[in-house]
Amino acid sequence: MMDFPLTLNVILRRAETIHACREVVTHRSDGSWHRYGYADMARRARQLAVALAKLGVSSGDRVATICWNHYAHLETYFGVPCSGGVLHTINPRLHADDLVHILTEAEDRVLIIDDTLLPVLERIGERVSLEHIIVVTSDGNVPAGMLDYDALIDATDATGYEFPELEESQAAAMCYTSGTTGRPKGVLYSHRAIVVHTLGSALASAIGIQEADAILPVVPMFHVNAWGLPFTCAMMGSKLVLPGRHLDSESLLQAFEQERVTISAGVPTIWIPLLDKLNECEGKYDLSALHSLIVGGSAAPRSLMEELEKRHNIRLVHAWGMTETTPLGTVAMLRPGQETLDEDQQYAVRLRQGHPVPFVEIRARGEAGIVPWDGKTMGELEVRGPWIAGAYYKRPDAADRFTSDGWFRTGDIVTIEPGGSMKIEDRSKDLIKSGGEWISSIDLENAIMSHPAVTEAAVIAIPDAKWTERPLAVVVVREGQSVSAEAISRHLETKVAKWWIPELFEFVEEIPKTATGKFQKTALRKQFAEGR
């Protein structure tokens, strides 16, 4: 057989030739709609590649983006990696210190940023050295010293330019994961990993994407490549509907109706208010084209699945993945024979995190080694496969997340049923997932404990209807001193991202500890979180 490299260039060539006129539709920040075909996208991706080369970007260089989901961001998804660069998508919600850390560690040379996200740059000020900042605007207004994205593309002649032939093992993109203590860790995706993930996630037993679909990724393009959907749509030729910054339920429902969206994807905190809105204005939107909402990032509640399906005839598909897994790992679906299960049993199957998609292998390790697939014994989930990270970028200190026999340790505590359906029972770390984003309880505790009147602080997650989880801080005040929740919140404003600041504080005499002197969070959860 031919030694044919699996690179994004092959996907782009296909999109340009086979799916030339299939549409990419963007809801722009000024409210207008932008439309073009994949051939236009590919042409502009080439212009971007030439423009970046003129700015001094060469093979292997990192180009960062801080952008919502829109056509220019899609052009960077192909223009940067197909010319040999590495696309570094950055989450604008990170704390300034983390932004500085990742921009510095990744040594990003160029940043492409939305005009509406420029305040993110103001937060980090002069603390990073970027050679060029390119701004995506809807009105052509660009701050002095920065370049206008559209003007740059329009002024670039890419006639005759061909993307180079690349090695499939070459890095195409990178994304940082927050989620553990300390600084976010980088994951570098190879061309091969993304291509094989693209094939795998299009399968009917995964997300099931066809050319006739119209797909709206609500999941941001800065979060694990919007679950790979932009690549999958380009390969399959599905219409891609990009919501820009219009992520409120009403805008999404309007976009679903207007663009005849068939599949959308997002975290539970997107679908919960969307369901409320649907209930509120039943019959207002024609969603007859919409057949599936993919949900992942945190566990989907049954009420969400049941109500969307019974009341609005919209199927919710539960999937699991991580930044380190590109991200699709497992999908929960009824298998042949399970249609005869009763309703409760069917929901139970579909609310698990599900079966690994082809080429992803799973196992779980308990204290006594690999646990049996009995649906009862818990262990930490380990995964391997062609799109699972084999290391973190420049982080030899995190080598313990990979086993000596080549599996990635996820940190999720799971049970696995006979037949391979996985369920997350708990997290090995005590992270808080708020609005689809991680809050590190330890970082937050340290920030609270940096207040002079606080001696001890432990943070636990409490369920929250809007954000899935929010932090609750349990605080011990230094003897002879007093401090209010408001004063701690004000103190935190300078230490952590705004959305990390807990709304709830409990003041206690003492925090229960484990034998090794760690905060006993199980006890705190029992006391403060259970039943909320």
Residues marked active site are found at: 177, 324, 433, 438
Choose between 15 and 229: whose C-beta lies nearer to ligand AMP.
229
Contact 457, 476 (CB under 8 A): yes
412 binds ligand AMP (CB under 6 A): yes
Of residues 277, 291, 427, 525, which one binds ligand AMP by CB under 6 A? 427
Is 353 a binding residue for ligand AMP by CB under 6 A? The answer is yes
Minimum CB distance to ligand AMP, residue 227 (Å): 9
- Containing 270, the helix (H) or strand (E) segment is helix 268-280
Among residues 212 and 465, whose Cβ is nearest to ligand AMP?
465
Direct distance between the N- and C-terminal alpha carbons of the chain, in angstroms, rounded to an integer: 60
Only segment of 75-83, 143-151, 305-313, 317-325 that touches ligand AMP (CB under 6 A):
317-325
Give whichever of 34 and 409 is closer to ligand AMP, judged by the CB atom.
409
- The distance of closest approach from Cβ of residue 179 to ligand AMP in the complex, given in angstroms and rounded to an integer, is 6
Give 327 or 502: the residue with its C-beta nearer to ligand AMP.
327
Binds ligand AMP by CB under 6 A, chosen from 289, 424, 462, 476: 424
Least Å distance, CB 318 to ligand AMP, is 6
* Residue of 267, 218, 208 whose CA lies nearest to 238: 208
Residue 25 or 316 with smaller CB distance to ligand AMP: 316
Handedness of CA 44, 46, 49, 51 (dihedral sign): negative
Instruction: Kindly indicate which of the ranges 27-35, 65-73, 119-127, 404-412 contains the residues binding ligand AMP, using the contact rule CB under 6 A.
Output: 404-412
Residue nearest to ligand AMP (CB): 323
Q: Give the containing element (helix H, strand E) for 71.
A: helix 71-82
For position 327 contacting ligand AMP by CB under 6 A, the verdict is yes
Least separation in angstroms between residue 412's CB and ligand AMP is 5
Considering only the stretches 256-264, 296-304, 397-405, 447-455, report the one whose residues sit in contact with ligand AMP under the rule CB under 6 A.
Answer: 296-304
Determine, following the binding rule CB under 6 A, whether residue 421 of this chain makes contact with ligand AMP. Answer: no
Q: CB of residue 222 vs ligand AMP: minimum separation in angstroms?
A: 11
| Closest by Cα among 479, 413, 474, 483 to 444 | 474
Length in residues, the chain: 532
Q: Which of 57, 322, 371, 416 binds ligand AMP (CB under 6 A)?
A: 322
Contacts of 306 (CB under 8 A, 6+ apart): 347
> CB 261 → ligand AMP: shortest distance, Å?
21
Only one of the segments 206-214, 248-256, 409-417, 516-524 lies at the binding site for ligand AMP (rule: CB under 6 A); that segment is 409-417
CB 331 within 8 A of CB 200: no
Nearest distance from residue 14's CB to ligand AMP, in Å? 28
Size of the site for ligand AMP (CB under 6 A): 20
Site for ligand AMP in 38-77 (CB under 6 A): none
Residue of 179, 186, 379, 502 interacting with ligand AMP (CB under 6 A) = 179
Q: What is the Cα–Cα distance from 265 to 295, expressed in whole angstroms?
A: 6
Residue 112 or 305 with smaller CB distance to ligand AMP: 305
CA distance 530 to 462: 8
Angstrom distance (rounded) from CA 349 to CA 347: 5
- Name the nearest CA neighbour of 344 among 302, 375, 373: 302
Rounded to an integer, what distance in angstroms lies between the CA atom of residue 275 and that of residue 272? 5
Cβ-based burial of 322 (10 A; exposed 0-12, middle 13-18, buried ≥19): buried
Find the shortest distance in angstroms from Cβ 275 to ligand AMP: 17
Contacts 24+ apart (CB under 8 A), 32-39: 32/138, 34/70, 34/71, 36/71, 38/234, 38/237, 39/15
Q: Which of residues 226-285 bind ligand AMP (CB under 6 A)?
A: none
Among 299, 348, 453, 529, binds ligand AMP (CB under 6 A): 299
How far apart (Å, rounded) are the C-alpha atoms in residues 89 and 20? 26
Contact call for residues 76 and 86 (beta carbons, < 8 A): no
Q: How far is CA 172 from CA 66, 71, 189, in A?
A: 17, 19, 6
Regarding beta strands 23-27 and 239-242, do their DSSP bridges make them parallel or antiparallel, or are they unpaired? parallel
- 31 torsion bin: left (phi>0), alpha (psi -120 to 50), beta (else): left
Residue of 177, 326, 415, 421 that binds ligand AMP (CB under 6 A): 177
Q: Are 319 and 295 in contact (CB under 8 A)?
A: yes
Residues at the contact surface with ligand AMP, assessed by CB under 6 A: 177, 179, 224, 296-299, 318, 320-323, 327, 353, 410-412, 424, 427, 438
